[in-house]
Amino acid sequence: MFFYVDESGHTGTNLFDENQPMLYYGVLSANTNLDLIAASEVQKARKALGVDRLHASELGMGGLVEIVGNLIKLQKRYRPIVDIYRVAKPDHAIISFFDQVFDQGMNPAMTWTGYWTPLRYFLLLKVASLFDEDIAKRAWQARIDINDATAEAELVYVCQALESRVLQIPDLRSREIIGDALRWAILHPNEIYYNCKSKKDVLTITPNVIGFQTVMHGIARRLRAPKAFASITVDQQSQFNKAQKNLAEFYATTREIPWESGPGMPKMDLRNIPEAPITFSSSKESVGLELVDLYLWIFKRMMEGQDIPPELYPLVKAQLYRAVSDEVSLGAISNRWSRWFDQLSEPTENQIVVAKKIIQKDEARRKDAMGRA
């Protein structure tokens, strides 16, 4: 298969741009090389508009309506699928904080079940409820600060602010666990390894690279078989292409490793990740990138509640029941895991006995660590 990847809403390490709270990735997949076989039809559309390339933000809705006949013809002939992936950037700052500070491997005041089982998402949402925008900004700034001293001082401030709000959490056990973990981090900020150590490391934790992880998993699902042929063309931009390339290569070299983090947690299946290297190109050189830009612009407007002309509806309708949409956000986590917990069956008496023994042992370990803090 041939994949063409574009992004929209890029703000780099600034996660709090009010005008662009979401980062979008569009992935157009087709069974044939659109750069070759769709070139003549795309050239007709360019000629009709008097432009050198098709770029949705420059064309606007009026321009898209003018060439919709060309686009529908391409859709019917080659049946491309357009998957959309999103990252809620302010939410990412909070998720990144939780993943680092509440990592039970680094913070011994955290329970094993609270990080290595789906209870992790339950606690994440409770921690998230303690944040306001200012604290989220400071947590993220500390995360990307490569100066250890200033980053750790800021981390302590953030943890103290959150710890002062723990009583807002309604249930006693969550208050205890979250409060203990925050207090341990306040006393041991250097042992949390919270901040990045280089500008290169900063790139790896941005929404651009986090979103690209979902892109690669989506491509693997589309391929459906190990070692299936794949050609991946990604829109060229200087800041994140190297980090995207490194991620794709890492996934390709670890395809046979079973990635399991704990009971009930999502399993990362990399077996269908393609071995072929990613190609970086511009829409001036790739018809596929031109097309995915148009689709992504249309779908982005729809997902943000904006109207589109009815002439473009056939392009949207063609993706119904075929395309995939997913996102990284607190809302998505809540929806996904609320359903999971609702579907859990009642534990047996034996399971309850075993669970109590595990919790008792872990609680002794946790209390001992806090006593030595």
Phi, psi of 190 (to 5 degrees): -75, -15
pLDDT value of position 239: 84
d(CA 321, CA 362): 45
Strand partners, 5: 27, 234
pLDDT value of position 258: 76
The secondary structure of the chain in percent helix, strand, coil, rounded to multiples of 5, reads 55, 10, 35
CB-based contacts of 245: which residues, under 8 Å, 6+ apart? 277, 278, 280
Amino acid at position 345, single letter: S
Token readout for 96 is 């990144």
Dihedral sign (CA 308, 313, 317, 319): negative
d(CA 21, CA 37): 36
Token readout for 65 is 């309506």
Amino acid at position 245, single letter: K
Residue ranges and CATH numbers for the domains of the chain are: 2-87+205-331 (3.30.420), 90-200 (no CATH)
Strand partners, 3: 29, 232
pLDDT value of position 370: 85
CB-based contacts of 3: which residues, under 8 Å, 6+ apart? 27, 28, 29, 219, 222, 230, 231, 232, 233
Place of tokens 């200033």: 150
Spell out the per-residue pLDDT of the chain, length 373, in tens.
999 999 999 999 999 999 999 999 999 999 999 999 999 999 999 999 999 999 999 999 999 999 999 999 999 999 999 999 999 999 999 999 999 999 999 999 999 999 999 999 999 999 999 999 999 999 999 999 999 999 999 999 999 999 999 999 999 999 999 999 999 999 999 999 999 999 999 999 999 999 999 999 999 999 988 788 999 999 998 888 999 999 999 998 888 887 777 888 888 888 888 888 899 999 889 999 999 999 999 999 999 999 999 999 999 999 988 999 999 999 999 999 999 899 889 999 999 999 999 999 999 999 998 886 5
Query: Hey, which bits of 13-131 come out as E strands?
Result: 22-30, 81-88
d(CA 144, CA 89): 14
CA 309 to the chain's CA centroid = 30
d(CA 35, CA 285): 8
The answer to whether 256 touches 271, Cβ cutoff 8 Å, is yes
CA 308 to the chain's CA centroid = 26
d(CA 114, CA 102): 9
